[in-house]
Chains A and B, each alone.
Chain A
Amino acid sequence: MTDELNLSANQLDALREIGNVGAGNSATALSQVINRRIDMNVPKVALVPLEVVPDLVGGPDAVVVGIFLRVYGKAPSNILFLLPQKSAFYLVDTLMGKPHGETNSLDFMDESALMEIGNILSGAYLNAFFTFTKITMLPSIPALAMDMAGALLNVVLAQLGQMGDQALVIETEFLSEDDGINGQFFLVPDPGSLETIIKAVGVE
C-alpha cells in the first residue's frame, strides 16, 4: 500500500484536479436541478489526522444534514455530502417550490428529495472520476441523517481508523448565488483505494 504520508506534490495536484472536475460536474448538475447558479471553491486535498476532520465541518456538535453513499468498485470509497441544517431546509424549500423559510424539519418526502440530490451529485462526480482514472465506481443507495457533524463523520472515520490515523480528504464547498445553500462534498477513499487511484492517474 502506498504510504499515505508520502504523496508527492504532483500526486496531490492530480487528486485536486480530479476533485475539481468531479465537483464541477456536480455543481452543474445541482444548478440544473434547482435552476440557480452554484459556485464552488477549488477543492482542498489534504491528509488530515482523523480527529481533526470534524473541525472541517464547523465542529463536532454543529447540526448538519449528512447524505452518505458507499462507493463500490476497484477503489472503494465513501461519499459524504454535508449541509448545515439551515442550508438543507433552504434546499428543500427550493426543490419543493415552497417559500423560503417554510421548511423547519424534514419529513419523508424532504429526505427523499435530499437523497436524490446526493445521488445526482455523486453520479456526476463519479463520472468525472471515471474520465480521469478509467476506474468505474458505483454509488450505493444514499442514506440520510440529521445530527451532530461529529457523529455523522464517525461512519467514515471508524472505517479509516482501522487502517491508520489519517484521512485523505477531497473536499469541495458549494455555494448558491443567493447564498441560501452551502454544502461540503467529501470523497474519502478507503486506505487501500488510494494506491489504485494514484496508479490509475499515472503521476509519479
Chain B
Amino acid sequence: MADLIRVGMADYKVGSAPSTIISYGLGSCIGISLYDPQTKVGGLLHIMLPDSTQARPTDNPAKFADTGLPLMLRDVLAQGAVKTRLVAKIAGGAQMFAFQNATDIMRVGSRNAEAAKKILKELGIKLIAEDTGGTYGRTVSIDLNDGVYKVKTIDKGEKTI
C-alpha cells in the first residue's frame, strides 16, 4: 500500500500516508516539502528557478518558487491539510560546477534557496529544516507517515532532516 510517488523536475505531487513522495537528482533545483503531521497530508515540489517574473511566461508554474508553492499549498489544503499546522522542509540548491567567474545562472542554486525561504515566509508557513548549498546532487523524499525528509547523495551518504 505504501506507494512511491515520483516527482519530476518542475512539478509537484501531493498525497497522504502511507505514501512517500520522491524526486531524483536535484542539483541547483530545490525540493520543497509541506506536511501536516496530524492529517499526514503533504506534498513535494521540485523547482528549477526562483522567480517567474524574471522569466518568459510559461505554461508550467511549478518551475518557479513563487508560482509553484502557492499551487502546491492549494492542493495540500484541498486534501485535508490545515494551514496553521503545515511545516516545510527544503533541500537542494547546489552549485554543481565550480567556475571562477560564476554568472548569475551558475549561482541559481543559492538564489533558489533564498526564494524558497522568502515565499514560505510570505505564505506564513514555518520552515523547520533545510539542507541546501554544497556542490553535490541530492535525491530527496518525504515519508508521509511521519514527515521524515530524506536526503541521499552519492559521496556524502544519506541523512534525514
Contact = CB atoms under 8 A, between A and B. Distances in A.
Do A and B form a real pair? yes
Interface of A: 50-51, 54, 59-61, 63, 66, 68, 70, 140, 143-155, 157-159, 161-165
Interface in B111-161: 135-139, 154
Interface string B30-57: 0000000000000000001100001110
Interface string B6-28: 00111100000000000011111
Contacts of B81: none
Contacts of B26: 150-151, 154
A61 B11 contact: no
Contacts of A159: 105
Interface residues of B, number: 34
7 closest A-B pairs by beta carbon, nearest first, are A150-B25, A151-B137, A60-B25, A151-B27, A154-B27, A148-B137, A143-B97
B29 interface: yes
B3 interface: no
A139 to B, nearest CB: 13
A154 B105 contact: no
27 contacts: A50-B9, A51-B8, A51-B11, A59-B25, A60-B9, A60-B139, A70-B99, A140-B99, A147-B137, A147-B154, A150-B9, A150-B137, A151-B26, A151-B29, A151-B94, A151-B96, A152-B27, A152-B96, A153-B27, A154-B26, A154-B109, A155-B96, A161-B55, A161-B63, A163-B56, A165-B58, A165-B63
Given A155-B97, A165-B60, A61 B24 contact: yes
B108 interface: yes
Contact of A154 (B29, B59, B63): B29
Contacts of A164: 56, 58
A50 B8 CA distance: 10
B58 to A, nearest CB: 6
A68 B28 CA distance: 15
Given A54-B9, A147-B27, A148-B139, A154 B48 contact: yes
Contacts of A59: 24-25
Contacts of A54: 9, 24-25
Given A51-B8, A63-B154, A162-B49, A150 B24 contact: yes
A97 to B, nearest CB: 27
A153 B10 CA distance: 13
A179 B138 CA distance: 30
Contacts of A68: 97
